[in-house]
Chain A
Protein backbone atom coordinates (compact mmCIF):
# COMPACT_ATOMS: atom_id res chain seq x y z
CA UNK A 1 0.00 0.00 0.00
CA UNK A 2 1.25 3.44 -0.88
CA UNK A 3 1.73 6.41 1.37
CA UNK A 4 0.22 9.35 -0.47
CA UNK A 5 0.80 12.92 0.61
CA UNK A 6 -1.26 15.47 -1.27
CA UNK A 7 -0.85 19.24 -1.19
CA UNK A 8 0.25 19.11 2.44
CA UNK A 9 0.77 22.32 4.42
CA UNK A 10 2.49 22.05 7.77
CA UNK A 11 3.22 24.57 10.47
CA UNK A 12 5.05 24.95 13.74
CA UNK A 13 3.27 26.76 16.54
CA UNK A 14 0.60 27.99 14.13
CA UNK A 15 3.13 29.52 11.73
CA UNK A 16 3.05 27.87 8.28
CA UNK A 17 6.43 26.39 7.36
CA UNK A 18 5.84 24.33 4.22
CA UNK A 19 2.94 24.33 1.79
CA UNK A 20 1.95 22.33 -1.26
CA UNK A 21 4.09 19.27 -0.51
CA UNK A 22 3.00 16.23 -2.51
CA UNK A 23 4.67 12.86 -2.94
CA UNK A 24 3.86 9.18 -3.21
CA UNK A 25 5.90 6.57 -1.39
CA UNK A 26 5.33 3.04 -2.63
CA UNK A 27 6.50 -0.28 -1.17
CA UNK A 28 10.23 -0.86 -1.51
CA UNK A 29 10.92 2.82 -2.12
CA UNK A 30 12.87 5.38 -0.14
CA UNK A 31 12.47 9.14 -0.18
CA UNK A 32 15.14 11.44 1.20
CA UNK A 33 14.18 14.95 2.32
CA UNK A 34 16.79 17.62 1.94
CA UNK A 35 16.91 21.24 2.87
CA UNK A 36 18.80 23.64 5.13
CA UNK A 37 18.33 23.68 8.92
CA UNK A 38 14.98 25.08 9.96
CA UNK A 39 13.43 24.48 6.56
CA UNK A 40 10.67 22.30 8.01
CA UNK A 41 11.91 18.74 7.51
CA UNK A 42 11.18 17.72 11.09
CA UNK A 43 7.76 19.40 11.04
CA UNK A 44 6.89 17.58 7.82
CA UNK A 45 8.02 14.24 9.26
CA UNK A 46 6.08 14.78 12.49
CA UNK A 47 2.97 15.58 10.47
CA UNK A 48 3.33 12.47 8.32
CA UNK A 49 3.87 10.41 11.51
CA UNK A 50 0.58 11.79 12.86
CA UNK A 51 2.07 13.72 15.78
CA UNK A 52 0.87 16.98 14.28
CA UNK A 53 -2.26 17.91 12.43
CA UNK A 54 -1.74 19.16 8.86
CA UNK A 55 -2.78 22.78 8.23
CA UNK A 56 -4.06 21.72 4.82
CA UNK A 57 -3.87 18.71 2.52
CA UNK A 58 -4.03 15.03 3.31
CA UNK A 59 -1.81 12.12 4.31
CA UNK A 60 -3.33 8.84 3.16
CA UNK A 61 -2.12 5.38 4.08
CA UNK A 62 -0.17 6.34 7.21
CA UNK A 63 -2.58 4.96 9.79
CA UNK A 64 -0.86 2.39 12.04
CA UNK A 65 1.94 1.82 9.56
CA UNK A 66 4.54 4.35 10.68
CA UNK A 67 7.60 3.66 12.79
CA UNK A 68 8.94 7.05 13.79
CA UNK A 69 12.47 7.83 14.94
CA UNK A 70 13.39 11.37 15.92
CA UNK A 71 16.39 13.12 17.45
CA UNK A 72 15.56 11.67 20.85
CA UNK A 73 15.74 7.89 21.04
CA UNK A 74 13.23 7.40 23.86
CA UNK A 75 15.61 5.13 25.76
CA UNK A 76 15.45 4.57 29.51
CA UNK A 77 18.85 4.92 31.13
CA UNK A 78 17.99 2.53 33.98
CA UNK A 79 16.93 -0.32 31.66
CA UNK A 80 19.37 -2.53 29.78
CA UNK A 81 19.65 -2.64 25.99
CA UNK A 82 17.61 -5.85 25.84
CA UNK A 83 14.93 -4.50 28.21
CA UNK A 84 14.55 -1.32 26.19
CA UNK A 85 14.14 -3.25 22.95
CA UNK A 86 11.85 -5.84 24.49
CA UNK A 87 9.61 -3.08 25.84
CA UNK A 88 9.17 -1.48 22.44
CA UNK A 89 8.67 -4.88 20.81
CA UNK A 90 5.81 -5.72 23.17
CA UNK A 91 4.25 -2.26 22.78
CA UNK A 92 4.04 -2.99 19.06
CA UNK A 93 2.86 -6.55 19.65
CA UNK A 94 6.11 -8.21 18.54
CA UNK A 95 8.43 -10.54 20.42
CA UNK A 96 11.59 -11.07 18.35
CA UNK A 97 14.47 -8.76 19.26
CA UNK A 98 17.42 -10.92 18.17
CA UNK A 99 17.43 -9.83 14.47
CA UNK A 100 17.41 -6.17 15.51
CA UNK A 101 20.30 -6.71 17.94
CA UNK A 102 22.26 -8.52 15.23
CA UNK A 103 21.57 -5.92 12.54
CA UNK A 104 22.94 -3.09 14.64
CA UNK A 105 25.80 -5.05 16.26
CA UNK A 106 24.40 -4.69 19.78
CA UNK A 107 24.75 -8.33 20.86
CA UNK A 108 27.73 -7.66 23.13
CA UNK A 109 25.87 -4.85 24.87
CA UNK A 110 22.55 -6.56 25.67
CA UNK A 111 22.99 -6.46 29.45
CA UNK A 112 24.43 -2.98 29.68
CA UNK A 113 22.14 -0.22 31.00
CA UNK A 114 21.29 2.22 28.23
CA UNK A 115 22.57 5.05 30.40
CA UNK A 116 26.09 3.70 30.08
CA UNK A 117 26.15 3.50 26.29
CA UNK A 118 28.08 5.97 24.13
CA UNK A 119 26.14 8.42 21.97
CA UNK A 120 26.66 6.30 18.86
CA UNK A 121 25.63 3.11 20.64
CA UNK A 122 22.47 4.81 21.92
CA UNK A 123 21.66 5.88 18.40
CA UNK A 124 22.15 2.33 17.15
CA UNK A 125 19.77 1.08 19.85
CA UNK A 126 17.28 3.79 18.87
CA UNK A 127 17.44 2.63 15.27
CA UNK A 128 17.25 -1.05 16.23
CA UNK A 129 13.91 -0.13 17.80
CA UNK A 130 12.55 0.43 14.27
CA UNK A 131 13.09 -3.21 13.44
CA UNK A 132 11.10 -4.50 16.42
CA UNK A 133 8.04 -2.38 15.58
CA UNK A 134 7.06 -4.53 12.62
CA UNK A 135 5.81 -1.36 10.91
CA UNK A 136 6.42 -1.01 7.17
CA UNK A 137 6.94 2.75 6.78
CA UNK A 138 10.01 4.10 8.57
CA UNK A 139 9.93 7.85 9.16
CA UNK A 140 13.42 8.91 10.17
CA UNK A 141 14.64 12.30 11.28
CA UNK A 142 18.43 12.63 10.89
CA UNK A 143 19.02 8.94 11.63
CA UNK A 144 22.80 9.08 11.18
CA UNK A 145 23.58 11.71 13.82
CA UNK A 146 26.51 10.60 16.01
CA UNK A 147 27.03 7.37 14.05
CA UNK A 148 30.54 6.47 12.81
CA UNK A 149 31.19 5.27 9.26
CA UNK A 150 30.84 1.58 10.16
CA UNK A 151 27.53 2.19 11.94
CA UNK A 152 26.22 4.23 9.03
CA UNK A 153 26.97 1.22 6.83
CA UNK A 154 25.05 -1.03 9.26
CA UNK A 155 22.14 1.39 9.15
CA UNK A 156 22.21 1.53 5.34
CA UNK A 157 22.15 -2.28 5.24
CA UNK A 158 19.16 -2.33 7.61
CA UNK A 159 17.28 0.16 5.44
CA UNK A 160 18.14 -1.79 2.31
CA UNK A 161 16.86 -5.02 3.91
CA UNK A 162 13.72 -3.22 5.02
CA UNK A 163 13.08 -1.95 1.49
CA UNK A 164 13.74 -5.42 0.05
CA UNK A 165 11.02 -6.78 2.35
CA UNK A 166 8.56 -4.37 0.79
CA UNK A 167 8.89 -1.65 3.38
CA UNK A 168 9.30 2.03 2.70
CA UNK A 169 11.43 4.75 4.23
CA UNK A 170 11.00 8.50 4.45
CA UNK A 171 14.02 10.22 5.92
CA UNK A 172 15.66 13.56 6.41
CA UNK A 173 19.42 13.16 6.12
CA UNK A 174 22.45 14.91 4.68
CA UNK A 175 24.58 11.80 4.30
CA UNK A 176 24.55 9.79 1.09
CA UNK A 177 23.67 6.30 2.30
CA UNK A 178 24.27 4.62 -1.02
CA UNK A 179 20.62 3.60 -1.16
CA UNK A 180 18.66 4.06 -4.32
CA UNK A 181 16.30 6.81 -3.24
CA UNK A 182 14.39 9.70 -4.65
CA UNK A 183 15.19 13.12 -3.26
CA UNK A 184 12.79 15.85 -2.31
CA UNK A 185 14.20 19.29 -1.61
CA UNK A 186 11.78 20.93 0.82
CA UNK A 187 13.22 24.43 0.40
CA UNK A 188 11.12 24.75 -2.75
CA UNK A 189 7.91 24.38 -0.72
CA UNK A 190 8.50 27.18 1.75
CA UNK A 191 5.19 28.68 2.84
CA UNK A 192 4.62 32.38 2.39
CA UNK A 193 5.24 34.18 5.68
CA UNK A 194 2.00 34.71 7.57
CA UNK A 195 0.81 38.27 7.34
CA UNK A 196 0.36 39.82 10.75
CA UNK A 197 -2.52 42.06 9.60
CA UNK A 198 -4.41 38.93 8.62
CA UNK A 199 -4.11 37.74 12.21
CA UNK A 200 -5.42 41.08 13.41
CA UNK A 201 -8.41 40.78 11.16
CA UNK A 202 -9.30 37.48 12.77
CA UNK A 203 -9.46 39.17 16.15
CA UNK A 204 -11.40 42.27 15.05
Chain B
Protein backbone atom coordinates (compact mmCIF):
# COMPACT_ATOMS: atom_id res chain seq x y z
CA UNK B 1 0.00 0.00 0.00
CA UNK B 2 2.69 2.46 1.05
CA UNK B 3 4.77 1.51 -1.99
CA UNK B 4 1.83 2.28 -4.27
CA UNK B 5 1.25 5.64 -2.57
CA UNK B 6 4.87 6.74 -2.93
CA UNK B 7 5.06 5.43 -6.48
CA UNK B 8 2.04 7.53 -7.44
CA UNK B 9 3.58 10.58 -5.76
CA UNK B 10 6.88 10.02 -7.57
CA UNK B 11 5.09 9.57 -10.89
CA UNK B 12 3.07 12.74 -10.40
CA UNK B 13 6.11 14.81 -9.49
CA UNK B 14 8.37 13.62 -12.34
CA UNK B 15 8.32 15.02 -15.83
CA UNK B 16 5.05 14.32 -17.62
CA UNK B 17 3.26 13.39 -14.40
CA UNK B 18 0.81 16.27 -14.58
CA UNK B 19 1.56 17.71 -11.16
CA UNK B 20 0.75 21.40 -11.23
CA UNK B 21 -1.87 21.08 -13.95
CA UNK B 22 -4.72 21.50 -11.50
CA UNK B 23 -2.89 24.24 -9.64
CA UNK B 24 -2.19 26.17 -12.86
CA UNK B 25 -5.82 25.84 -13.89
CA UNK B 26 -7.00 27.11 -10.49
CA UNK B 27 -4.62 30.05 -10.77
CA UNK B 28 -5.81 30.94 -14.27
CA UNK B 29 -9.49 30.80 -13.35
CA UNK B 30 -9.09 32.94 -10.24
CA UNK B 31 -6.80 35.45 -11.93
CA UNK B 32 -9.17 35.87 -14.87
CA UNK B 33 -12.35 36.33 -12.82
CA UNK B 34 -11.57 39.93 -11.71
CA UNK B 35 -10.88 40.85 -15.34
CA UNK B 36 -14.18 39.44 -16.54
CA UNK B 37 -16.25 40.82 -13.67
CA UNK B 38 -14.70 44.26 -13.72
CA UNK B 39 -13.12 46.45 -11.05
CA UNK B 40 -15.94 46.28 -8.51
CA UNK B 41 -14.28 45.22 -5.30
CA UNK B 42 -17.58 44.92 -3.41
CA UNK B 43 -18.95 42.46 -5.99
CA UNK B 44 -15.69 40.50 -5.97
CA UNK B 45 -15.77 40.24 -2.19
CA UNK B 46 -19.30 38.88 -2.46
CA UNK B 47 -18.53 36.16 -5.03
CA UNK B 48 -15.00 35.30 -3.82
CA UNK B 49 -15.84 32.19 -1.70
CA UNK B 50 -17.97 30.69 -4.45
CA UNK B 51 -15.42 31.37 -7.18
CA UNK B 52 -12.58 29.90 -5.12
CA UNK B 53 -14.56 26.77 -4.37
CA UNK B 54 -15.70 26.36 -7.97
CA UNK B 55 -12.16 26.86 -9.24
CA UNK B 56 -10.81 24.25 -6.84
CA UNK B 57 -13.52 21.78 -7.83
CA UNK B 58 -12.91 22.18 -11.57
CA UNK B 59 -9.15 21.95 -11.05
CA UNK B 60 -9.70 18.66 -9.21
CA UNK B 61 -11.87 17.38 -12.05
CA UNK B 62 -9.22 18.18 -14.64
CA UNK B 63 -6.74 15.48 -13.63
CA UNK B 64 -9.22 12.71 -12.78
CA UNK B 65 -9.24 10.91 -16.13
CA UNK B 66 -5.55 10.01 -15.66
CA UNK B 67 -6.14 8.60 -12.18
CA UNK B 68 -6.66 4.99 -13.26
CA UNK B 69 -6.45 5.25 -17.06
CA UNK B 70 -2.63 5.35 -17.08
CA UNK B 71 -2.38 2.16 -15.05
CA UNK B 72 -5.02 0.56 -17.23
CA UNK B 73 -3.21 1.40 -20.46
CA UNK B 74 0.18 0.03 -19.46
CA UNK B 75 -1.26 -3.11 -17.89
CA UNK B 76 -0.26 -2.21 -14.33
CA UNK B 77 -3.88 -2.31 -13.17
CA UNK B 78 -4.25 -5.96 -14.20
CA UNK B 79 -1.04 -6.80 -12.38
CA UNK B 80 -2.13 -4.88 -9.29
CA UNK B 81 -5.44 -6.74 -9.35
CA UNK B 82 -3.57 -10.07 -9.15
CA UNK B 83 -1.36 -8.76 -6.34
CA UNK B 84 -2.08 -9.23 -2.61
CA UNK B 85 -3.50 -5.68 -2.38
CA UNK B 86 -7.31 -5.51 -2.33
CA UNK B 87 -8.81 -3.44 -5.15
CA UNK B 88 -10.62 -1.27 -2.60
CA UNK B 89 -7.28 -0.41 -1.03
CA UNK B 90 -5.69 0.28 -4.41
CA UNK B 91 -8.43 2.78 -5.30
CA UNK B 92 -8.30 4.42 -1.87
CA UNK B 93 -4.51 4.78 -2.01
CA UNK B 94 -4.62 6.20 -5.52
CA UNK B 95 -7.28 8.69 -4.42
CA UNK B 96 -5.09 9.68 -1.47
CA UNK B 97 -2.10 10.22 -3.76
CA UNK B 98 -4.33 12.26 -6.08
CA UNK B 99 -5.40 14.44 -3.18
CA UNK B 100 -1.82 15.05 -2.05
CA UNK B 101 -0.72 16.05 -5.56
CA UNK B 102 -3.86 17.96 -6.58
CA UNK B 103 -6.13 18.81 -3.66
CA UNK B 104 -3.50 19.79 -1.11
CA UNK B 105 -1.74 22.35 -3.39
CA UNK B 106 -5.16 23.90 -4.08
CA UNK B 107 -5.86 24.22 -0.36
CA UNK B 108 -2.50 25.89 0.18
CA UNK B 109 -2.88 28.21 -2.81
CA UNK B 110 -6.43 29.31 -1.98
CA UNK B 111 -5.59 32.01 0.61
CA UNK B 112 -3.05 33.60 -1.76
CA UNK B 113 -5.59 33.68 -4.54
CA UNK B 114 -8.22 34.96 -2.10
CA UNK B 115 -6.30 38.24 -2.07
CA UNK B 116 -6.86 38.62 -5.80
CA UNK B 117 -10.60 38.29 -5.28
CA UNK B 118 -10.68 40.70 -2.37
CA UNK B 119 -11.93 38.02 0.00
CA UNK B 120 -13.11 39.41 3.36
CA UNK B 121 -10.37 38.92 6.02
CA UNK B 122 -12.64 36.89 8.27
CA UNK B 123 -13.15 34.31 5.49
CA UNK B 124 -9.58 33.06 5.02
CA UNK B 125 -9.38 30.59 7.88
CA UNK B 126 -12.69 28.90 7.15
CA UNK B 127 -12.03 28.91 3.40
CA UNK B 128 -8.82 26.94 3.85
CA UNK B 129 -10.42 24.70 6.46
CA UNK B 130 -13.47 23.97 4.29
CA UNK B 131 -11.27 23.20 1.28
CA UNK B 132 -9.07 20.91 3.39
CA UNK B 133 -12.24 19.20 4.60
CA UNK B 134 -13.96 18.95 1.22
CA UNK B 135 -11.24 18.20 -1.34
CA UNK B 136 -10.53 14.64 -0.06
CA UNK B 137 -14.15 13.84 -0.92
CA UNK B 138 -13.61 15.28 -4.41
CA UNK B 139 -10.60 13.00 -4.96
CA UNK B 140 -12.40 9.91 -3.64
CA UNK B 141 -15.57 10.53 -5.67
CA UNK B 142 -13.31 11.16 -8.65
CA UNK B 143 -11.57 7.84 -8.11
CA UNK B 144 -14.97 6.15 -8.15
CA UNK B 145 -15.78 7.91 -11.42
CA UNK B 146 -12.40 6.88 -12.83
CA UNK B 147 -13.11 3.27 -11.85
CA UNK B 148 -16.47 3.47 -13.64
CA UNK B 149 -14.94 4.73 -16.88
CA UNK B 150 -11.67 2.79 -16.88
CA UNK B 151 -11.15 1.04 -20.19
CA UNK B 152 -13.27 3.50 -22.13
CA UNK B 153 -11.26 5.36 -24.75
CA UNK B 154 -11.43 9.11 -24.12
CA UNK B 155 -13.60 8.46 -21.07
CA UNK B 156 -12.94 11.93 -19.66
CA UNK B 157 -16.20 13.44 -20.86
CA UNK B 158 -18.29 10.60 -19.45
CA UNK B 159 -16.29 10.79 -16.24
CA UNK B 160 -17.02 14.51 -15.82
CA UNK B 161 -20.74 13.98 -16.44
CA UNK B 162 -20.90 11.12 -13.92
CA UNK B 163 -18.88 12.86 -11.25
CA UNK B 164 -20.29 16.41 -11.40
CA UNK B 165 -23.66 15.64 -9.76
CA UNK B 166 -21.83 13.83 -6.95
CA UNK B 167 -19.66 16.90 -6.45
CA UNK B 168 -22.65 19.22 -5.93
CA UNK B 169 -23.28 18.62 -2.19
CA UNK B 170 -19.61 19.18 -1.37
CA UNK B 171 -19.59 22.37 -3.42
CA UNK B 172 -22.79 23.70 -1.82
CA UNK B 173 -21.72 23.20 1.78
CA UNK B 174 -18.07 24.11 1.21
CA UNK B 175 -18.87 27.38 -0.52
CA UNK B 176 -21.63 28.10 2.00
CA UNK B 177 -19.25 27.70 4.94
CA UNK B 178 -16.69 30.01 3.33
CA UNK B 179 -19.39 32.59 2.47
CA UNK B 180 -20.83 32.61 5.97
CA UNK B 181 -17.40 33.10 7.50
CA UNK B 182 -16.61 35.91 5.05
CA UNK B 183 -19.84 37.67 6.01
CA UNK B 184 -19.14 37.23 9.70
CA UNK B 185 -21.81 34.58 10.25
CA UNK B 186 -21.44 31.26 12.05
CA UNK B 187 -20.06 28.63 9.59
CA UNK B 188 -20.32 25.60 11.90
CA UNK B 189 -23.45 23.98 10.42
CA UNK B 190 -22.27 23.81 6.79
CA UNK B 191 -18.82 22.70 8.01
CA UNK B 192 -20.39 19.82 9.95
CA UNK B 193 -22.42 18.78 6.93
CA UNK B 194 -19.30 19.03 4.75
CA UNK B 195 -17.37 16.85 7.20
CA UNK B 196 -20.25 14.37 7.21
CA UNK B 197 -20.25 14.13 3.42
CA UNK B 198 -16.49 13.66 3.30
CA UNK B 199 -16.51 10.94 5.97
CA UNK B 200 -19.38 9.09 4.29
CA UNK B 201 -17.59 9.28 0.93
CA UNK B 202 -14.30 8.06 2.40
CA UNK B 203 -16.07 5.18 4.13
CA UNK B 204 -18.27 3.99 1.27
CA UNK B 205 -16.65 4.98 -2.01
CA UNK B 206 -13.57 2.70 -1.88
CA UNK B 207 -15.88 -0.31 -1.76
CA UNK B 208 -18.09 0.99 -4.56
CA UNK B 209 -15.02 1.78 -6.65
CA UNK B 210 -13.47 -1.61 -5.93
CA UNK B 211 -16.63 -3.44 -6.97
CA UNK B 212 -16.93 -1.40 -10.16
CA UNK B 213 -13.27 -1.94 -11.01
CA UNK B 214 -13.65 -5.69 -10.56
CA UNK B 215 -16.44 -5.68 -13.15
CA UNK B 216 -14.54 -3.38 -15.52
CA UNK B 217 -11.37 -5.48 -15.51
CA UNK B 218 -13.17 -8.52 -16.89
Contacts and interface: CB of A to CB of B under 8 A. Distances in A.
B4 interface: yes
B82 A52 contact: no
Contacts of A75: 74, 76
Contacts, number: 74
A83 interface: yes
Nearest to B17: A78
Contacts of A74: 71, 74-80
Contacts of A73: 74-75
B16 A78 contact: yes
B66 to A, nearest CB: 13
A90 B7 CA distance: 11
Nearest to A84: B7
A123 to B, nearest CB: 12
Interface residues of B, number: 26
Interface string A57-82: 00000001011111111111111000
Contacts of B16: 77-78
A15 interface: no
A23 interface: no
Interface string A90-102: 1111000000000
Given A76-B11, A79-B10, A87-B3, 17 more contacts: A50-B82, A53-B218, A64-B84, A67-B82, A68-B78, A72-B74, A74-B71, A74-B80, A75-B74, A75-B76, A79-B11, A79-B14, A83-B10, A86-B3, A91-B4, A92-B84, A133-B83
